[in-house]
Structure formats: C-alpha cells, structure tokens
Amino acid sequence: MKKLICIKILRKLKQLKFLITTIRKSFIKRIKSWDKVDTNTLVTILGIILTIGAMFFATNDSRKASKEMSLFLKNFQKNGEELLTNMRENIGEISDITKPLLEKDKKELDEYVKATNFFEAFGISLKPEDYYSRGVDFSYKQQYNLALTAFTKAIELNPNYADAFYNRGVIYGKKGELEKAIKNFDKAISINPNFADAFYGRGNVYGDKRELEKAIQDYDKAITIKPNFSEAFNNRGCAYDDKGESEKAIQDFDRAISININNENAFNNRGNIYFHKGELEKAMEDYAKAISINPNYVKAMRNMGMLYKLKGNKEKARFWLNEALIKKEFLTDKEEEEIKECLKEVGE
C-alpha cells in the first residue's frame, strides 16, 4: 500500500515538473515579446522562478535546480534589459517636473519606475535616464528627498545631465534651500546656455529672495530664448509689480494672457493690480476668468471675497470666502487664517 502511494506521488511530481518547465518556457517567450510591463506579472515570474527551484529541490535534484534557476535568471536579465530599452523609448523624457502630467502618463511612468526597481534587484544595471525618471516619479508624488537621491544618482552617472540639474534645482527650491537651487540652475545653464526653463527657474528663486533685478534679468533671458514663454512673462510681471512698476507689470500680464488664454495666474495677478488701483470692475472680471479656468483656484476666490468686502457686499464676500475655505487643501495655513479673520469681519 505504501509503495503504491509513493508511486502515485512520484507521478504527480513528474507531471508538476513538466508543467513548471512548460510555464517557464512560456514566460521566457512572453518576456521577449513584451512592449509594456505589468508589475504584477513580474512578481508572478519571480514566484515561478522560486517554484521551479523549490520543485527540483523537492525531488532531490539540487544540481538541476541550480542550473535551471541560473539559466532562467540569465535569460530574464537579458530580456529585461531589452524590455527597459523599449520602455525608455515609449516613456520618453519628462524635462520639467513643474508641468502637469496626465493621469495616464503618471500611471505609465509609475509602472516604468517599478520595473526599474524590479530589474535592478536582479542585477541589471540602470542608465542615468532610469534614475532620472525615478526622480520625476518621486517629484510628482511629492517625495522630494527620494527625488533628490534619484536625480543625484543620474548626475553621478552623467555629469552633463542638464535636465537632472534643473529638476534637482526645482526640488531644492520647493524645499526652501534656495542657494542649492541656484547652484543647480547655474550648472544646468553652464551645460546648456539656451536652457530657457533653467533661467526661468533661477529667476523664480531670485524672486523668492527678493533680488528682483536678478529675477527680471533671468526672465528676460528666458523670454529671449523662448519668446512665447507665458509663465516667464507672468512672473516678470510679478517682479515688476513688487518693484512698484505696475504699468510694466500689466503689460507683461497682458502678454502672458495673449500667449496663453488659459493662464489663470496672469488673470489673477492682473486682477490684483486693478484691485489696488481701485479699478474693481476690471479686477472682478479677471478674478472671475481665473476661477472659470481653474475652479479650484482658491487665491482668486479669496481675492473675489476681499473685493466684495471692499464694495460692502457682505453676502457675496461670505460666499467667495467660504468657497475658498471649502477647498482649503489648496490653501497655505497663513491664507486659511487670513480668510477666517476676514469672514469674522463680514459676519460668518
């Protein structure tokens, strides 16, 4: 009886071994034909690798197990490198992390980065652009320290990687490390003297430092390189406004809007100038336009509330201030407190 049971078990093991070998060949074939990666499939493959090894070990064939796993990993690494090459071409390079990304593109980028993590664990060497894409992915997820690590690795592998220096500068700017941001923009510009976004980014940092002349000079350079740079006109307008040169500011906001009719920042900023000049109807029109472009633009909602408060229309003031508070995830703590104080003045 025991002998019969053992014979049945051995038959089942042979059948299972044949099945796993067939699956292994099927997956190798599938890897070669991949043009997209699915991280769930990658994990499944890893499970098959381990199962193959465990199966042969279970039949006391350790040499076979070692040979099979080595062969599988060798093929896996080879085809993994080909897969990453195809994915790099499909994804392309996102040169500026300040630009919005479609959800579809974010998902593709995330899958690509997961694939690089997976293949790196199997000893496949990554290229500078792989670490760069990892930095971009972390940036969109607001995981800024991890983004810095990834951009730094890309720069170590390619010291002339201007986009990596630029985006590392953007991250340092977001973290408030302004001198480090400037150094990275400087480096990006030294590598690529026609890097309009790097001049623009450095101009933004000089603006934050209240070094307005330097900011304007950088915006001038960005606009010279890229004449239809709407945001550069907008931010130069802000610098002129901070200097008290409101007419120059309005001209820049006008130009920004003429280039991009959906530039909500330019409408809001021009509205602010009209507000302070006492031209409330013009200000109202600009705030309304900014909100119509971006229904979550809480700064314009707050400004609209302040405008109606000034006009003595408490009901509409309360409406717009409360609309801004409803979307408080888009507000800074300081802005939220200002709105709450203003609501007390108009009667909550």
- Looking at residue 18, its pLDDT comes to 53
- Looking at residue 336, its pLDDT comes to 84
- Looking at residue 254, its pLDDT comes to 98
- Looking at residue 32, its pLDDT comes to 44
Cα dist. 288→75, 81, 284, 316 in Å?
60, 52, 6, 13
Contact 264, 293 (CB under 8 A): yes
- Looking at residue 343, its pLDDT comes to 87
Top-confidence residue, 121 or 225: 225
pLDDT bracket for residue 161 (50, 70, 90):
very high
Output DSSP code: residue 143.
Answer: -
- Looking at residue 111, its pLDDT comes to 79
- Looking at residue 338, its pLDDT comes to 85
Answer yes or no: is pLDDT of 276 > 60.
Answer: yes
pLDDT bracket for residue 140 (50, 70, 90):
confident
Output DSSP code: residue 99.
Answer: S
Answer yes or no: is pLDDT of 196 > 90.
Answer: yes
- Looking at residue 244, its pLDDT comes to 95
| Average pLDDT of span 224-234 | 97
φ, ψ dihedrals at 211, nearest 5°: -95, 75
Least confident of 186-195, 203-212, 309-318: 309-318
Q: Which two tokens stand for residue 121?
A: 């664990």
Q: Which residues of 95-120 are buried (b: 16+ CB within 10 A; e: fewer)?
A: eebeeebeeeeeebbebbbbbbebbb
CB neighbour list of residue 235: distance below 8 Å, 6 or more residues apart: 200, 203, 204, 207, 215, 219
Answer yes or no: is pLDDT of 316 > 70.
Answer: yes
For 62-113, write each residue's pLDDT tens digit: 565 566 556 555 665 566 666 666 666 666 666 677 777 677 777 777 777 7
Q: Which two tokens stand for residue 311?
A: 């006009």
Cα dist. 212→206, 231, 263, 267 in Å?
7, 16, 22, 21
Top-confidence residue, 156 or 51: 156
CB neighbour list of residue 137: distance below 8 Å, 6 or more residues apart: 109, 110, 113
Q: Which two tokens stand for residue 53?
A: 């090894």
For 174-189, write each residue's pLDDT tens digit: 999 999 999 999 999 9
- Looking at residue 125, its pLDDT comes to 79
pLDDT bracket for residue 212 (50, 70, 90):
very high
- Looking at residue 79, its pLDDT comes to 61
Answer yes or no: is pLDDT of 153 > 50.
Answer: yes
- Looking at residue 190, its pLDDT comes to 98
pLDDT bracket for residue 264 (50, 70, 90):
very high
Spans of all domains in the chain:
298-348
For 16-67, write each residue's pLDDT tens digit: 455 455 545 544 444 444 444 445 555 555 555 555 555 555 555 556 556 6
Q: Please tell me the pTM assigned to this model.
A: 0.76
Of 73-87, 111-125, 150-164, 325-339, which one has max mean pLDDT? 150-164
Output DSSP code: residue 35.
Answer: S
| Average pLDDT of span 326-337 | 81
| Average pLDDT of span 137-163 | 94
